[in-house]
Structure 1
């Protein structure tokens, strides 16, 4: 039967672009190759897979494998080629990917009785085998791909169909026909059981799936109210007087197919997929930004601890990352070497228009903030002299509603000069600004949320509005020196300790006042505020939402008198103590507030260490030693007061406390006390009263009460 065949499924391997790029990056970083995916189930004659990694010098072999009868598993990969019924074709995609395509080189038609060519299938299940593709370097396998193939033979119609379409005549005055679903000439139409072109074998296949109703040729007989339907059997009494005379031309089914005009058929294929235009992206929070050519707009970002050079940018998702690269030679490609034409990208704005990235260059003469020396000193043979290296890309996206109104990029470039290999820390950021204004985010609503920054503030001169500030602690990077150290925000609920190293020489220790002032200034730069917000969404115009920061200085160490190469009272450690309190709950979530904040400075004595083999710092007044400057933050929870304090009697007397005593005496008064919780109190009380009533009745009617009455009667006489 035409148009009836087993469907042949093709394997379409698709993975998210981000995961493929990540696998390529990891494979290249370890100089290995991997198949993606590593296992396929093929139900069609074509299979596609990818080989990712360093594919140079890699050869592919194909063989047929089977399960071992002893171990029950497939053996190890082999680099020996075997003859199969499949052909393997490869296509290089870039430098790090290879596309593999396997095609079945035999016909899938079912063999006839007199077929001797061999290019056919002897049974409906034509192919059932397991294939193994091995990626080899020389004679050593590096990776393998398993393919489970299960192919069925195709069933073709006995007579080839034609593209001729049956032209339906004007149906104004003539009936449609005895088989309206017979639409194709000399071809058996699917599910049209009244089609005369269908054989008996074809009709058996769709016997239970015939088209119902008049369209399938199942026209109901004339209704019983027609006068032409006269029968002596089962004729009602009203039939001769109330029957209806209607000619067959007035068939009620004619209107199901006739629309008033004749539509002429247009030659060509019956089914054509219309050409679809690319949809206009409507940006929502988290959706990727799309360029004019339909690609994702990418900026280097961090993913699973790795720096991904081409990561899609999500709408309204700010980020700031640092990517560290080892430079053994001058970079030649993006993102460290960028061109203006590549950065001026055309991006879809989400409203049917296009915005162009506006690039501004900033040239810095000193790149020491971004560069540090590497321990790999013998990795290069000549001096590094790399001009115009891109060390920072800072994007700003201006948006309104669900669209982008503008994009600006500040590219920071500089020249790297070194006699050895260096570690370059490039910075990339993206900030979304609404109408050129970027409001500061809150840290809770209303209470602080754990993991959000602590909000500090200071009152500017001449104003009553509190200006927002950030509390910081040290964040050492590169060599750990305070001159290159950065700062990280104090996060609510996160205890932390960090520091940096300050080089101090013997000459500096002879000027202790200047040294103390220098260390004090370094510590004070961490907290440039006088107030801290009680809650995560403070009012910057009301001091009721703020708490004064208390600064306290601990006692210095004992004076050392006149000691050379030593200074006492150096504020080397700064400690922030934050007292928090749970003030209530909103929707079952505890609301935390800051009750008080105190900053302490611990003073120590700095003395040069002259022991050991290195005594140059004690002899040379300009040779420095490294001293640590630390900062820490501790959050202390204030317990919630659940009620008035207990008396000594309540604390010590536990005889009648059922929670702290194995014997609970109040339970003996069951059911008149509420200590028993085995059943509702009302039921236990009712049962207890019934028992008391029965006891009283038994006492009155029993022998003791009768003796009491008799004794009372004898005494009365």
Structure 2
């Protein structure tokens, strides 16, 4: 027992010294060896305590901890062969043991590949809250749907977008991914910098076309005088000596990307700018959108081929007078789409859907001062209604040619006359309702599907009388009046030919649609009443079937006699 103390002290000192020099045992080919030759052999050329398989331990050292060796596979003692293994068969094993035992090589055990011979990676100390550095996206040679768009400086092309309820000014744009967002900004002074205050030259960015070319953003400025849809708080109308006039503020940035194949051919930016009066706090709502159009604006998705399909948009157009030939610029016919408070000044517009009748409207606030100037009130309501239908033509079919005049119909406007003069809280002949009548018909059938076209379109205004209900006599008191719009589709019946005579109407014996028994169907497939396949194929199959029946009936008796004679000869 006294000899054990120096030995243990020597081993502990050696283990501490081994950890200092960081000696390691190299175990080769660990992928194919379970746990290595000795998993508990941590230090090289030094005996590890309680590691009975350590070859560095002498016989005397092993005697010190022979009865305290590390148990299990980590101590170098691989578990014994299980009883269900075929190599564990004993003399007293039952006869059926070879049929139900498991054959598996000794190397195939649960610990195979637990340790691998790989390279050593040294970690560097760093703070846990350090922001990770993001790698720059790899630029691709051609664009695919969803891939980011790059500039000629290998930078991401960005447009302000909404993400997680916040407006991100440097959000990348994905190829062929349309979006439209609104950002709300609280202004206490005139904005400075992107995206609210920019120069046209700052927006004329050189963009990589996707095939090695270059596309420069074309900027078109649009001056907005009515800021009702952008200033939601209404504080822009309050001015004082401290009010600031902010000119050329970006109210909307609408991008149009024209593409062909996997490349961008043209980019047009419509920048809506306006002058904002900031007095205190002003809530500004800006709009950002991106639309990808195939090659040209007129290449938008059709509404049918060739006839209109139910649920598709009505295709309308405005004639391009600048070109020498007939050309139509695509647009739409709209109805009111009230949002928020339902006021007409904040309402949006929704396009008309083919074969879907609809009625919608908005509310117009009117005070006593407006009711005393009925002519001005009529013009205001007429201007609001005129924004719904700005088109001159409507397409006859769902895939019109924008350079062929025969594919377009003129829109008929039926405006009522306005002659009366009213006042003192009453105004008559207000064009408060606009109704759109669209006559459609079935032009033909393609693969059993009816092809619907538009025959005529008419826009009619309905006049009404507005009477202001006096309240407390305050001239600034307002009352809400409805301004409505609707569309009705009228189907023109198909001409089924000359009328039937009395015999055709009363004689129903061979009419399969009006009689319970249809005699012509009994002769199918020789008649055309069978529509499961072409008549020629059904007729050919019927004739083959008849031929087989006749052949079987003629050859039935002779073949039976031959078979009987053959059986008699074999006996």
Q: Distance in 2 between matches of 1:620 and 1:535?
A: 54
| In the alignment, structure 1 residue 578 sits paired with structure 2 residue 434 | no
Match of 2:488 among 623, 627, 634: 634
Asked whether the equivalents of residues 320 and 427 of structure 1 are also in contact (C-alpha less than 8 Å), the reply is: no
What SS does the aligned partner of 1:373 have? coil
Q: Does 1:551 align with 2:413?
A: yes
Rounded Cα–Cα distance in structure 2 between residues aligned with 1:344 and 1:539: 33
More strand by share: 1
More helix per residue: 2
Following the alignment from structure 1 to structure 2, what is the Cα–Cα distance between the partners of residues 122 and 493?
A: 82
Contact 2:312 2:354 (C-alpha < 8 Å) held by counterparts: yes
Confirm or deny: 8 A CA contact 1:2 1:161 kept in the other structure.
no
Q: Specify the alignment match of 1:455 in structure 2.
A: 316
- Give CA deviations for 1:171-222 in whole Å, capped at 9, x if unaligned: xxxxxxxxxxxxxxxxxxxxxxxxxxxxxxxxxxxxxxxxxxxxxxxxxxxx
Alignment of 1:428-577 (within 5 A): 428-430=288-290, 439=298, 441=300, 443-444=302-303, 445-449=305-309, 450-458=311-319, 465=326, 467-468=328-329, 470-540=332-402, 542-552=404-414, 565-577=425-437
Aligned mates of 2:403, 2:529 — CA distance in 1? 56
Q: Which residue of 2 aligns with 1:92?
A: none
**Equivalence for 1:154:** 113
Local SS of the residue matching 2:411: strand
Counterpart contact for 1:322–1:425, Cα < 8 Å: no
Please give the alpha-carbon distance, in whole angstroms, between the structure 2 residues aligned to 1:669 and 1:448.
40
Question: What is aligned with 1:289?
Answer: 149
- CA–CA distance in structure 1, aligned partners of residues 399 and 521 of structure 2: 55
Q: 1:386 touches 1:415 (CA, 8 Å); kept in 2?
A: yes
RMSD over aligned CA atoms reads 6.0
Post-superposition shift, 1:652?
Answer: 5.6
Note closer, same or farther for the CA distance 1:566–1:647 as it changes in structure 2 (3 Å cut). Answer: farther
Number of aligned residue pairs: give it: 425
| Residue segments in structure 2 that go unaligned for 5+ positions in a row | 1-26, 35-50, 55-68, 80-109, 120-136, 235-241, 533-537, 551-571
Separation in structure 2 between the aligned mates of residue 503 and residue 154 of structure 1, nearest angstrom: 80
Show the 5 A alignment for 1:584-623.
584-585=444-445, 590-610=450-470, 615-616=471-472, 619-623=473-477
Matched, 1:625 2:479: yes
Residue 31 of structure 2 is matched in structure 1 by: 5
User: 1:393 is matched with which residue?
Assistant: 253
Matches within 5 A, 1:26-175: 116=70, 120=74, 154=113
The more displaced of 598-607 and 470-479 is 470-479
Partner residue, 1:315: 175
Residues 116 and 475 (structure 1), Cα distance of their counterparts in 2 relative to 1, 3 Å cut = same
Q: Give the secondary structure class of the aligned counterpart of 1:544.
A: helix
Contact 1:533/1:547, CA 8 A, preserved across alignment: yes
1:552 CA displacement: 3.5
Name the CA shift for 1:357/1:570 in 2 (closer, same or farther; >3 Å). closer
* CA 351–620 in structure 1, closer or farther in 2 if over 3 Å, else same: same
- Measure how far apart 1:607 and its partner are: 1.6
Residues 32-66 of structure 1 show CA distances to partners (whole Å, capped at 9, x for unaligned) of xxxxxxxxxxxxxxxxxxxxxxxxxxxxxxxxxxx
Distance change (3 Å), C-alpha of 1:661 and 1:633: same
* Contact 2:253–2:287, Cα closer than 8 Å, also in 1: yes
1:490 positional shift: 3.2
Q: In structure 2, the residue corresponding to 1:522 is in which secondary structure?
A: helix
TM-score computed with the length of structure 2 as normaliser: 0.54
| Distance (Å, rounded) in 2 between the aligned partners of 1:122 and 1:486 | 78
Instruction: Give the corresponding residue for 1:64.
Output: none
Q: 1:683 and 1:442, CA in 2 relative to 1: closer, same or farther beyond 3 A?
A: closer
Hey, what's the Cα distance between the residues in 2 that align with 1:464 and 1:554?
A: 34
> Structure 1 residues 670, 599: CA separation in 2 closer, same or farther (over 3 Å shift)?
closer
What does 1:217-296 correspond to in 2, within 5 Å?
Answer: 280-284=140-144, 287-290=147-150
* 1:427 Cα deviation from its structure 2 partner: 0.9
CA distance in 1 between counterparts of 2:189 and 2:448 reads 57
What does 1:298-313 align with in structure 2 at a 5 Å threshold? 298-301=158-161, 312-313=172-173
1:113 Cα offset (Å) = 5.5
Cα distance change on mapping 1:536 and 1:154 into 2, 3 Å: same
Displacement, 1:372? 0.9
Tell which deviates more after alignment, 283-292 or 569-578.
Answer: 283-292
Cα distance, 1:585–1:5 mapped onto 2, change above 3 Å? farther
1:370: how far off? 1.5
> In 1, distance between residues paired with 2:422 and 2:213?
76
For residue 426 of structure 1, give the secondary structure of its aligned residue in structure 2: strand
SS in 2 for 1:577: strand
Shift of 1:570: 2.1
Q: Aligned pair 1:425/2:285, yes or no?
A: yes
Contact preservation (8 Å) 1:443, 1:453:
no
Whole-angstrom CA distance in 1 between matches of 2:315 and 2:142: 35
- Deviation of residue 627 (structure 1)? 0.9
* Larger relative contact order, structure 1 or 2 (CA cutoff 8 Å, min sep 6): 2
Distance 1:397 1:675, change over 3 A: closer
Cα deviation per residue 1:688-708 (whole Å; 9 max; x = unaligned)? Answer: x99xxxxxxxxxxxxxxxxxx
- Take 2:154 and 2:75, find their aligned partners in 1: how far apart are those partners? 44
Quickly say closer, same or farther: Cα 1:538–1:433, change in 2 above 3 A: closer
1:135-186 Cα deviation digits (max 9, x unpaired): xxxxxxxxxxxxxxxx9663569xx999xxxxxxxxxxxxxxxxxxxxxxxx
- Provide TM-score, normalisation by structure 1: 0.45
